[in-house]
Structure 1
Amino acid sequence: MKLRGVRRSRNIEDRRRSGGGGLKISGLGLLAVLAISYFTGVDVTALLDGGGTTYEGELTPAEEKSADFSAAVLGTTETVWTGIFRDQLGEAYVPPKLVLFSGATASPCGGASGATGPFYCPADEKAYLDTAFFATLQQQLGAKGDFAAAYVIAHEVAHHVQNEIGILPQVNRLRQSASQVESNALTVRLELQADCLSGVYARNVEGLLEPGDIDEALNAARRIGDDYLQSRAGRVPQPHTFTHGTSEQRSRWFARGFETGDVNDCDTFGAERL
C-alpha cells in the first residue's frame, strides 16, 4: 500500500506509554460491545504466545512505525468514507477515534487486551487496537503484508460505519432478546457486512493499492475465519458458535464489496446465502 505522503489522521489516541489502565466491564458494554475479537471461542494463549507487552517511556522505532502506519491508514478511511457518505448515502461522515494500546486498557464496552484482538466500542465510538496484533497477524496467523494490517483497521472502521448508519444499534437491540445461537447468527451477518464494507473501502482507495494488496486482504480474511481459528486451536469447528463467519464467507464478502464499491451491495441481512 502506497502511504508515503498520505495525510495522517489526528483521530489517534495513543495509550501505549501509559501502561494497562484497569479492566472494567460495564453493563452497557456487555450489551453493546460488538466483541470484535478475532479469537472468540478459541484458546488465545495457543495463538498469542503470552500476549502483548506494556510499554513504559519512549517507544521504539518499530512501535513508532506501527503508530504512523495506523494513522496513515485511518486517514485513508476518513477520506474514502467521507466521499462514500456524500455520494452514496447523502450524509456527512463523522470518523471514529483509534485507540492504540499495549497489553491491556479500559473501554466503556469492557476491558481491551491483546487476547481479545481489535474491536470497536459503540459506546464511545472508538476502535481499539493493540499494535502487537500486527505481528500476531503475520507471524502466528500467516496473514502477511501491509494491506493485511490495513484490512484490520478498515474492518473496525466499517463497524463504525454500521454504527453511523444505524445498523449496529438495531442489531444490538435484537441480540439482547435473542438466544445465544440466534445472537451468534446476527453477529455473523454483522461481521460479514463489515468485511464487505472493508472491500468497498479498498475499491475506493484511489491510487494507493499495489499489486498483491487485495490478495493480502483476502488471505487475512481467510485466516481469521471462525472455522480456521477453531481448527488451528485444535477444535472441531462448531458452526453454532461462530460469531464472524467462515474463511470462505469472510473472503467472499470482502471480494464482493471490492468488486462493486457500492454500500448497497453489502446487505448481508437480506441475503439468503451468507
Structure 2
Amino acid sequence: MQWRGRRGSRNIQDRRRSGGGGLAVGGAGGLGVLAIVVVGYFLGVDLTPLLGGSDGAVQTGAQRELTQDEEEAGQFVSVVLADTEQVWGQVFPEQLNATYQPPVLVLFSGRTSSACGVAGSATGPFYCPPDQQVYLDTDFFVTLQQQLGAGGDFAAAYVVAHEVAHHVQNLTGTLGEANRVRGQVGEAQSNAISVRIELQADCYAGLWARLAEDRLGVIERGDIAEAMNAASRIGDDTLQRQSGQVVRPDSFTHGTSEQRQRWFARGYEEPLMANCDTFSAERL
C-alpha cells in the first residue's frame, strides 16, 4: 500500500505515551504477548480461542517515549484512516444521499478508558458505539503478523477498515438494531447475529479497498491478497483449530475463514453497500 509521505487524518487521538506494559500470557501455546478482543460491544477481531486457560495481568506505565516502530505504526494508521474518510465521504452521498461523519480513532498502549469500559492490552481493535470511536493498540499489528501469519501493511489496513465499517453500520442504524435484537435472544441466536454484523463489516472493508484502488490509486500488487489472507487467519473456525479446540459453529461470533474472505471479496468486486446486506442473505 502506498502510504508513506501521504496525508494523515486529524481524527486521531494518541494516548500511547501515557501507557505501557502489556499482557503476560501463559499456557497459550507459547504465543507470548497476545492481543485479544472482548466479545460484546467490542466488535473486532476475536482471538479469545487462542488464550485457552491462560492468565495474565495488565501493567501500565508512566509517561514514556514511543519507539520508532510505534511512531511509524501511528503514521500508518493515520493515513489509512484518512483514506477511509475520503472514500466513505464519497460513498455516503452517492449511495445513501447522506453525509458521512468520521469516527475518532484512539491509539493506546497498556490500557485506556472508553464509553464501553476499560480497554487494556488484552483488547484488540474494537469499535465502541456509545462514543463512536475506534480503539487500537498498535502492538496488535505485531500479533497479526508474527502469531497469526497475516503479514503486510494491507493486512493491517484491512483491520482498520473493518473497525471503521462498524462505525458505518452505527451511522446507518444497522449496528444499533442488531445489538438491540441480540439483547433479546439466546446466546446461539445472538452469536448468529454477531456473525452477520462482522461479515457485513468485512464486505464494507472490501468495498473500501476497491474504491481506494480505483479513486485514490494507493493499492499495490499483492495488497488484496494480504487482506484476504488476514481474513482467513482470523476466521472463528481457524482460530478454534489453532487453539486445539473442537470447532463449534454455534459459538462463532465473526464467521468462518471462508465466509470472511468471501464477503470481503464481494464488497471488493461489487462496491455497493446494498450488496453487503448480510442480514437478508440466506447463505452466509
CA distance in 1, matches of 2:139, 2:18: 16
Instruction: Tell me if the contact between 2:7 and 2:82 (Cα under 8 Å) persists in the aligned partners.
Output: yes
1:162 aligns to 2:169 (yes or no): yes
The residue identity in structure 1 corresponding to 2:118 is: G
Letter in 2 for 1:209: I
What is the CA distance between 1:257 and its match in structure 2?
Answer: 0.2
Distance 1:52 1:147 in 2: 30
Task: Answer yes or no: is 1:198 the counterpart of 2:205.
Answer: yes
- Give the Å deviation of 1:116: 2.6
Residue identity opposite 1:7 in structure 2: R
Moved runs in structure 1, 4+ residues, more than 2 A? Answer: 34-38, 49-56, 113-116
- In structure 2, the residue matched to 1:24 is none
Instruction: Determine the structure 2 residue equivalent to 1:175.
Output: 182
Match of 1:67 among 62, 71, 74: 74
Residue 58 of structure 1 deviates from its aligned partner by: 1.5
> Could you list the per-position Cα deviations for residues 206-235 of structure 1 after superposition, in whole angstroms to 9, with x for gaps in the alignment?
310000000000000000000111111111
Q: Is residue 110 of structure 1 aligned with residue 117 of structure 2?
A: yes
Matched, 1:219 2:226: no
Letter in 2 for 1:238: R
Q: Deviations over 1:71-118 (max 9, x none)?
A: 000000000000000111110000001110112212111222232311
Does structure 1 retain, via aligned residues, the 8 Å contact 2:155–2:226? yes
Question: How many angstroms does 1:35 deviate by?
Answer: 3.5
The aligned counterpart of 2:134 is 127
The answer to whether the Cα contact below 8 Å between 2:45 and 2:234 also exists between their aligned partners in 1 is: no
The answer to whether structure 1 residue 6 and structure 2 residue 13 are counterparts is: no
Counterpart code for 1:226: D
Cα shift at 1:61: 1.2
How far off is 1:242 after superposition?
Answer: 0.5
- Contact persistence 2:19–2:64 (CA under 8 A): no
Is 1:240–2:250 an aligned residue pair? yes
CA distance in 1, matches of 2:200, 2:62: 34
Residue 111 of structure 1 aligns to a residue whose secondary structure is: strand
Q: Post-superposition shift, 1:54? A: 5.2
Residue type at the aligned position of 1:108? A
- Given candidates 251, 255, 258, the residue that maps to 2:265 is 255
Give a deviation string over 1:213-268, Cα, whole Å, max 9, x none: 00000000000000111111111111111000000000000000000011110000
Structure 1 residues 32 and 139: CA distance shift in structure 2, 3 A = closer
Query: Counterpart of 1:36 in 2: which secondary structure?
Result: coil
Structure 1 residue runs of 5 or longer lacking an equivalent are 21-29
- Report the alpha carbon displacement of residue 174 of structure 1 after superposing the two structures with TM: 0.3
Q: 1:52 to 1:71 in 2, by over 3 A?
A: farther
Rate the CA distance shift 1:119–1:55 in 2: closer, same or farther, 3 A. Answer: farther
Amino acid at match of 1:254: F
- Over 3 Å counting, the alpha-carbon distance change for 1:250 and 1:60 in structure 2 is same
Query: Which residue type is aligned with residue 33 of structure 1?
Result: Y
| Alignment partners' CA distance in 1, 2:76 and 2:59 | 19
Aligned residue in 2 for 1:100 = 107
Tell me the TM-score normalized by structure 2: 0.88
Tell me: CA distance 1:31–1:72, structure 2 relative to 1, closer, same or farther (3 Å).
Answer: closer
TM-score normalized by the length of structure 1? 0.91
Q: Aligned ranges for residues 137-152 of structure 1 at < 5 Å?
A: 137-152=144-159
